[in-house]
Structure 1
């Protein structure tokens, strides 16, 4: 017992477990509740580089939506001790449950698959990659499966390849993780496939043995999926594709798991396994998002920048998990004002040709081809949340010279917007713009280290009469600004591209997401 030890105001009660990053303790909160406190290995916590990374990762983790996760409640550094506080989840982890009671099947397995995919959708929507999804990081709470330990997952960092493989667990590592390549959310989807295969069969999909042997089989062999129910086996097989580009996204997993069936069916999957008698559609509502509107303008400054058993710990639970899962699903034909919003670019994004250029779907992506001297800006089919917004996109300047990025707090009627700009020459700017005007530069131009494919994340948060604006490029904070001169408020957000004065430009967007600023 170590009840007299207090870290960051949390009184430690008992040790819950140890891992490579440190220890996890059950603790009493300052208000008398319970929480799980992870104390980081002191050798790591004393490293200034780790402290900087820790602060960045925690900030991202705290923005993860709470669906099917154990949310990060607090974090800090107390002397030489770095700590992370998450919600305490009662219940065994998936590895313990399968060991003690055997594999899952039918509705139990379906509910688990939907719940973990929902958690990954929330985690990826916050710009975080878990990197170490495994059965011991899935807790089976009375309200359904909860994914943990994403709070210390590193954000994508192309300069930290050596650490990426270390953070993985061999049996659930994706081929690109084994090779030490930059990781993407597809890495977690591969781990999801391994976890569901394990849960449904009681076996590791690529067998056991020495880590080197397991990693070799991951690279060379197909997974062993016999014993899985046929329907879910097909989804798991796609998630375990060797080529990351062939795997569905986390949101795609949800769509495959519930397909084009009624939304209530998805909640019933959870109800019959994780909850008691609950009305499937209780409390559910749908709000239709406004249709996207195309925008383009002449650029005045183009150079500017039913299972085998009902497990005893889940009997009689409330409807919260069913509602959470339903809220996170993007079922075809039904659009809800739920967060995060992740674009598939087929859902009412504007396409067509205008004087300024062309917008079109390109496979799973979205392309803007901009005529010389013009600027195109396109709205997502979703209004911004009132609390402020995080906008993220992955973009490539595929042809020509110009600039591109995301924008927020925009208005189709006035052309007002804040643009977060990356130029082909390697500069970033934040611009307050109105259609047909030069635009007011709030930050930059500043030189940055870009890449062939750039991930752009922008934050537009409002406090009183001030809008705060921050921009990340490939997970590094590159620009900060504030606007107090009649600042714009929440409205629309989207993507933009501009060409040079004499040549056209083509920009491809491979992802786009919106989520509220954490309060």
Structure 2
């Protein structure tokens, strides 16, 4: 279902109101600005009395390839309820598609960003963090099972309820088929991009998604990046060459037991070994999974 985008000027109040009209006659009113990013801006909208969000692309981002991808995602439908999936395409002119956006479900206020956790604006329990971790793993498993890759797993795209651990995943318009042919489009967010992509040796795929997910889970549970250890602290000028070396050419997991320079954090050790059996088991499993991934990656990237 396509939506026609129309601007109506309210002369008496000198304000501009935005309205969307579907081909089948559904009316959508754009209420207010929510936020913006590199691709476009997001607005709060009302469609037949239901609160939704509308993302409108900047002109340079409104490419034919992006539009084709959006249409495919709308036809495919969301892998699970956690994804705030594109629902309808919005056009600025129904006859010509010179600009466009899409409508998606609106994120509930109870869901907070990972940045809120990093800055201690929220203090979720370990139960909530572990629930969020498990739900994230399950959600991306369901996405990958459909032959799709997310391409940009990072802080800005994942939200969770600090009380229950429930998650929501946004910015799903960059999801694409995992066919190994993605030579353009989004490559990811710095610090979350897989080393092989940083080095220019690969394109986004389900496998590189797993790397980004590992980094995100590590941030959730340790409030830190898994590659930023003593070597990162030794860098005098953290410029692009230094970042490429740390995150791409020579990545090293900070808890790699074969690394003689490892500095074992007392907080990590206490959390890992001196808590209850259930928590130890969960952490040990996660530790093994994350370490295994980084060990395989490091071996691949260092030529071992």
1:36 to 53, 56, 71: 53
Instruction: Work out whether residues 218 and 226 of structure 2, in 8 Å CA contact, stay in contact via their aligned partners in 1.
Output: yes
1:189-215 CA-to-partner distances (Å, cap 9, x unmatched) read: 111110111122222223384454333
Contact 2:194 2:208 (8 Å CA) reproduced: yes
Residue pair 2:187, 2:197 contacting (<8 A) in 1 also: no
Q: 2:140 aligns with which of 97, 120, 123?
A: 120
C-alpha contact (below 8 Å) 1:11/1:28 kept by paired residues:
yes
Bigger proportion of residues as helix: 2
Q: Check whether the contact 1:93–1:135 (CA below 8 A) recurs between aligned residues.
A: yes
Give the Cα separation in 2 of the matches to 1:223 and 1:245: 11
Matched with 1:297 is: none
Matches of 1:65 and 1:110 in 2, distance apart? 21
Q: SS of the counterpart of 1:43?
A: coil
**Equivalent position of 1:15 in the other structure:** 33
Q: Structure 1 residues 170 and 76 mapped into 2: Cα distance closer, same or farther (>3 Å)?
A: same
The residue aligned with 1:190 is 211
In the other structure, the counterpart of 2:227 is 206
Q: Deviations over 1:328-355 (max 9, x none)?
A: xxxxxxxxxxxxxxxxxxxxxxxxxxxx
Q: 1:17: how far off?
A: 1.7
The offset of 1:175, in angstroms, is 1.7
Which of 222, 232, 239 does residue 252 from structure 2 map onto?
222
User: Which of the numbers 136, 143, 155 marks the counterpart of 2:177?
Assistant: 155
1:26 pairs, out of 44, 48, 59, with 44
The correspondence for 1:89, drawn from 85, 95, 107, is: 107
Q: Give the 5 Å matches for 1:17-416.
A: 17-29=35-47, 31-45=48-62, 47-60=63-76, 62=77, 64-79=78-93, 80-90=98-108, 91-101=111-121, 106-141=126-161, 144-156=166-178, 158-161=180-183, 163=184, 166-180=186-200, 181-207=202-228, 209-219=238-248, 220-224=250-254, 227=268, 229=272, 230-231=283-284, 232-243=286-297
Q: Distance in 1 between matches of 2:140 and 2:53?
A: 21
**Cα contact 2:30–2:46 (8 A) shared by 1:** yes
Bigger Rg over Cα: 1
Instruction: State the distance in 2 between where 1:212 and 1:218 align.
Output: 10
Offset at residue 158 of structure 1 (A): 4.3
* CA–CA distance in structure 1, aligned partners of residues 124 and 240 of structure 2: 26
What residue is the counterpart of 2:24 in the other structure?
Answer: none
| Structure 1 residue 117 displacement after superposition | 0.8
**1:71–1:87 CA contact under 8 A, matched in 2:** yes
- CA 1:212 to 1:172, structure 2 compared with 1: closer, same or farther past 3 Å? farther
Q: Distance in 1 between matches of 2:50 and 2:217?
A: 33
Q: C-alpha distance in 1, partners of 2:289/2:213?
A: 10
Q: Deviations over 1:94-126 (max 9, x none)?
A: 222332336766322211110111110121122
Q: Which runs of 5+ in 1 are unaligned?
A: 247-519
Which is richer in strand? 1
Superposition TM-score, scaled by structure 1 size: 0.41
Partner Cα distance (2:222, 2:167) in 1: 18
SS in 2 for 1:214: helix
Given that residues 66 and 122 in structure 1 are in contact (C-alpha distance below 8 angstroms), is that contact kept between their aligned partners in structure 2? Answer: yes
Contact 2:41–2:56 (Cα < 8 Å) also in 1: yes
Matches within 5 A, 1:411-422: none
Q: Distance in 2 between matches of 1:121 and 1:200?
A: 20
1:175 to 1:59, Cα distance in 2 relative to 1, 3 A: farther
Q: Structure 1, residues 481-514: CA drift from partner, whole Å, max 9, x if none?
A: xxxxxxxxxxxxxxxxxxxxxxxxxxxxxxxxxx
Structure-2 separation of matches of 1:184 and 1:160: 8
**8 A Cα contact 1:67 1:118, kept in partner:** no
How many residues align structurally? 239
Alpha-carbon distance in structure 2 between the residues aligned to 1:68 and 1:245: 34
CA RMSD of aligned residues (A): 3.0
What TM-score do the two structures reach when normalised by structure 2? 0.68
Q: Structure 1 pair 211/191, CA: closer, same or farther in 2 (3 Å)?
A: farther
